[in-house]
Structure 1
Amino acid sequence: MSPTEVEARVARGWAVTGPILEDLRRRALREMTEDQALEAVLDLLDLATLAPAKAGGSGLVEQQRYFALARR
């Protein structure tokens, strides 16, 4: 099966699966109690206070540090 055929097959699968998942999501939201909804909102708000992950960088600074140590 070529990559294009695989992509078409996946797209067809999501065309069927997507609406089913959307219905499940909507049903779950409708059936939430007020306490569950409040907990979900608070969980989302907690995400805003998380510190973003530091970028790993390219390693250039650390490499330069090793070169400086090697020169000594």
Structure 2
Amino acid sequence: MERTRYTPSQTTKNKSERITNLQGAFKVKQPDLLTDKHMLLVDDILTTGATLASCTNTLLAAGVGQVSIATIAVVES
């Protein structure tokens, strides 16, 4: 997976703005290698989940079979 375009910092954005900011920001470089695979996404800090959601949707659209998520810390709102 790679970022396809620059996205401004999300530190001051709310959840809706973060989701919009990340639309179309990622792509899978070699989807044929990931077809029906189980992928693990790791994020250091889970704030709104927008980045993980965007990455998960990109992976599933590319043919990944299942996506799991691990995070070290969660920001409570």
Output the TM-score relative to the length of structure 2. Answer: 0.24
More strand by share: 2
More helix by share: 1
Output the TM-score relative to the length of structure 1. Answer: 0.25
Q: Which has the higher contact order (CA 8 A, sep 6+)?
A: 2
Structure number with greater Rg is 1
